Amino acid sequence: MNDTWQGDAIGLVEAFRSGERTPLEELDASLAAIEGSDLNAVCFTDPDRARQAAKTADVTLPFGGVPIGVKELDRVEGWPDTHASVPFADEIATVTDTKIQRLVDAGAILAAQTTASEFGGVNQTNTKLHGATRSPWNRERTPGGSSGGSSAAVSAGLLPIATGGDGGGSIRIPAGFTGLFGLKATFGRIPLGPDAGPGNLTVTSGCLSRSVRDTARWFDVSNGFDLRDPLSLPRVEGWEAGLDSFGDQLRGRRAAVLPALGAATVADETIELVTEAATWLIELLGLTRVDADVAMPRSGGAWSATGGVGLYGTVRDRWPECGPDLTGPMRAGVAATLEYYNVDVAVRAEEERIAINEAMATMFDQTDLVFAATNPDVAFTADGRLPSVFGGKEAKPINNGLLTIPSNIYGNPAVSIPIGTSSDGLPVGLQVLAPHFDEQLLLDIARAVERERPWPLLAP
């Protein structure tokens, strides 16, 4: 993979503009790297279409000529539309998502479709359709999910940047597992249309990137209201131009260090690394450390129950015949929804959502920023079930998402920032949470880490 670009996507655009590289050369290098990779990070390529686009790429555009990965759950007209699920293996997308079209209009080359977990349901990318996707840091470990193929491809050097979606942590979790930067923005920043529905009101779109500036440019290109997603937010300008301009706004802000976020079971080593990084950042940025009394309700019930309705809606016309072709968690999720979901469950799920919203609001009444772990432990095995032991501590499998799901339900922004590796050499992510619409503060916090403690752009 040494022939592919080893820097970030903006650096690649600059190399195109200077004549150091060409879009077609870079695309061919990525396609060759994908072909030679053993990570199972890519499930489809469209070389003829991509090469034609690369030949005519306008490198004056924000992502002019950059080959990008498109997560399997995003739609590109004419590409497979599988939901990462065997029953949909032969489906072809008839539309291109608004967010993808905006990237194309900004010059990006759609190079490859990256693997995802089935229906985006778990934080491990291992499906019956494609098998297990593996981390370039350790082939026995998962790159996370549901955007696992994107994180594996970017951290391995197959592609410089890739799309991601975060409905319960699916950008932040794989970013934390693979040493990448991942921003889950305020709900609605990037539209989900066409055909957008409210779902369980947790899903946001973004990217897996190697640098903060890449993510900022991504949001410059992709954010803004779309008529086909009535819950999308008005456009905000200046994400990249505003980098490093919020230092004065950060100084003096209250910051709480809550590695377990009041609910999760977290490995001791992860707590230690997160606490050290947070303490260092608080001093570096001139933040005011405060204590926050947080009793976060368990968020798995509302998230699972409401998500199960959407899952059943997707497979309804194929159920129950498709059951044996689904992965175990998804098959169980559909079955549980049909057996247990009723008006009483819907009411209790909404009550839980309200309780989480109140707990998050109470937390942000006490502090402006929260430093937590991204994941309860380092990346677990690429094969097999979700773990129930985290640094020697037992917990239910839903613990895998308890650090990230609250921000999905509440809708506030949160980032995962690489802060080094554990004793066994696997990446650890620091999660920073902020109230709604404060993404720029999070980007500048990440920039401080990037500047003072640079992270490796690629897995070793």
Predicted confidence at residue 216, as pLDDT, reads 98
pLDDT under 70: residue ranges of the chain = 1-2
Task: Give the C-alpha separation, 15 to 243, whole Å.
Answer: 21
Q: Which of 365, 454, 391 is nearest to 418 (CA)?
A: 454
DSSP code at position 339: H
Query: Nearest CA to 377 among 344, 353, 401, 409?
Result: 401
Burial of 19 (0-12, 13-18, 19+ CB in 10 A): exposed
d(CA 418, CA 400): 18
Global confidence as pTM:
0.97
- Nearest of 103, 34, 35, 37 to residue 74 by alpha carbon: 103
Q: What is the pLDDT of residue 103?
A: 98
Q: What pLDDT is recorded for position 304?
A: 86
Q: Which CATH superfamily is domain 9-222 in?
A: Amidase signature (AS) domain (3.90.1300.10)
Q: Where are the extended beta strands (E) located within 155-275?
A: 161-166, 181-184, 204-209, 254-257
Token pair listed for 293: 């009394």
Q: What angle do CA 151, 313, 148 make, to 5 degrees?
A: 5
Give pLDDT, residue 2: 66
**Does residue 21 sit in helix, strand or coil?**
coil
DSSP string computed for 259-285: TTTTT----HHHHHHHHHHHHHHHHHH
CA-CA distances (angstroms) from residue 364 to 213, 356, 357, 401? 27, 12, 11, 20
Domain residue spans in the chain?
Answer: 9-222, 248-300+344-452
Map tokens 């613990």 to a residue. Answer: 399
- Say yes or no: do domains 9-222 and 248-300+344-452 share a fold: yes
The CATH number assigned to the domain with range 248-300+344-452 reads: 3.90.1300.10
Each residue's pLDDT tens digit, 145-176:
999 999 999 999 999 999 999 999 999 999 99
457, two tokens: 């752009």
In this prediction, residue 1 carries a pLDDT of 52
Instruction: Name beta bridge partners: 372.
Output: 431
Which residue has tokens 């509440």? 410
